Amino acid sequence: MTVVRPFGLSVRGPALEADVQAGLAAVEEGLLDATKSEVPFITQAAQHLVRAGGKRFRPLLVMLAAQFGDPYAPGVVPSAVVVELTHLATLYHDDVMDEAEVRRGVDSANTRWGNSVAVLTGDFLFARASHILADLGPEAVRIQAEAFERLVTGQILETAGPRDGRDPVEHYLDVLGGKTGSLVAVACRFGAMMSGADETVVDVLTQYGERLGVAFQLADDVLDIASDSHESGKTPGTDLREGVPTLPVLRLRERAERLGLPEDIALRELLDSDLTDDARHAEALTRLRVHPALEQARRDTVRYVEDARAALVPLPECDAKASLMQLCDAVVHRAG
C-alpha cells in the first residue's frame, strides 16, 4: 500500500510533522479495520482502493485543522476515517457511472468484479462510515448527512445539466461545490470541531475547505487535459472521452459562442463528436492543450485558490496555518 502526500507536500515544523504522520498512520489502520468483513470477498473488494493507496488529501486536512485545538482528541482520527471512507465509496460509484477502467493505477473495481459488486462495495463503505459516525455524536451525523446530500445533489445536477437559461460555467461550479467542496469542507470542519477548536475557527476552516475543494477539482480538470500521465492514476482525458464537460471544455464552448471564431467552432464540433474513437480523442486533447480555454480554466483555479487563502487570514500564525497556505500553493502548481 502506498500513501502519497498530496503534491509532495511536507508540513511545516518537526512537531507538526510528527503529529500528522502519527495521525495518518492511525487513519490507515482505521481504514483497514473498517473495511474488514466476515466475508473474505467483501474484505477484498472493500480494501481494493484502500490498499491501492492515494493522497489521503481529506485526512491530511482533518489532521491540520485539528492543530487549532487538541490534535489528540479522541474524535479526530475516527472523523478522518469517516471522511476518507465516504470519499472512497464515491470513487466506486463514480467509476461505474464513468465506465472507468483504471483507478489509482490499478484496475477499477467495476473492471475487476463488475458493476454490481462495485456499487454494492461503495454502499458497504458508506455503511461502515455511518457506523463510525454514530459514535461521534448527533451533530457529526447531521453535518455528514448534509454534506452527503450536497454531494449526491451535485452528482445529479452534473448528470441533468444546466436548466434552460443557466450559465453552464456557473452550473458547473455549483456542481463542484457539492461533489467535491462539500466533503473537503467537512474534513476541515471535523478536524477543528473534534479537536475542540473555537467555533469561529471551525467556521473559517470550513470556508477554506469548501473553496480549496473546488480549486482542487478545477486543478484536476486542467491536469486531465494538460498532463500525459494523470496524477490520480486515471487515463488522461477520461471525462473528455465520456462526454463530461469539465471547465476547459465549458470555457471553449463559451468562447466559441461569444467570438464565433472558425477554429473555436471547429474544436467545439470535434468535442461534440464521438470521442470514444481514439484518433478523435487524441486530436481533441492535442488541440485543447494549446487552446486559450485551458489557460482560462487555470485562471479560474487560481481565483478559487486565492479565495481559500483569504479565508485563512483570521487564523493565528502557526505551522498548521502555514501548511494550509502551502496547500494553496501546491494546488496552483498542480494546475500550472
**What pLDDT, in 10s, does the model give residues 299-311?**
999 999 999 999 9
- Confidence class of residue 8 from pLDDT cuts 50, 70 and 90? low
Give the pLDDT score at 190. 98
C-alpha cell of residue 307: 479565495
**What pLDDT, in 10s, does the model give residues 177-216?**
999 999 999 999 999 999 999 999 999 999 999 999 999 9
Q: Which residues pair with 54 in a beta bridge?
A: 3
Give the count of beta carbons closer than 10 Å to the beta carbon of residue 301: 26
Give the pLDDT score at 132. 97
| Average pLDDT for the chain | 90
- Confidence class of residue 234 from pLDDT cuts 50, 70 and 90? low
Lowest mean pLDDT among 49-53, 188-192, 218-222, 329-333: 49-53
Q: Crossing angle of helices 168-176/138-160, nearest 10°?
A: 150
Helix (H) or strand (E) holding 111: helix 109-113
Q: Is the pLDDT of residue 313 over 80?
A: yes
Q: Is the pLDDT of residue 251 over 70?
A: yes
Do the Cβ atoms of 193 and 275 come closer than 8 Å?
no
Is the CATH number of domain 14-335 1.10.357.10?
no
Give the pLDDT score at 126. 93
Lowest mean pLDDT among 45-54, 136-145, 276-285: 45-54
Give the pLDDT score at 230. 45
**What pLDDT, in 10s, does the model give residues 34-84?**
999 999 999 998 888 888 878 899 999 999 999 999 999 999 999 999 999
Give the pLDDT score at 334. 81
Measured CA to CA, the distance from residue 113 to residue 47 in angstroms comes to: 13
Looking at this protein, which amino acid is placed at residue 120? Answer: L
Would residue 6 be called left, alpha or beta, if left means φ above 0 and alpha means ψ between -120 and 50 degrees?
A: beta
Ranges of each domain in the chain: 14-335
| Percentage of the chain lying above the pLDDT 70 cut | 93
Give the pLDDT score at 99. 63
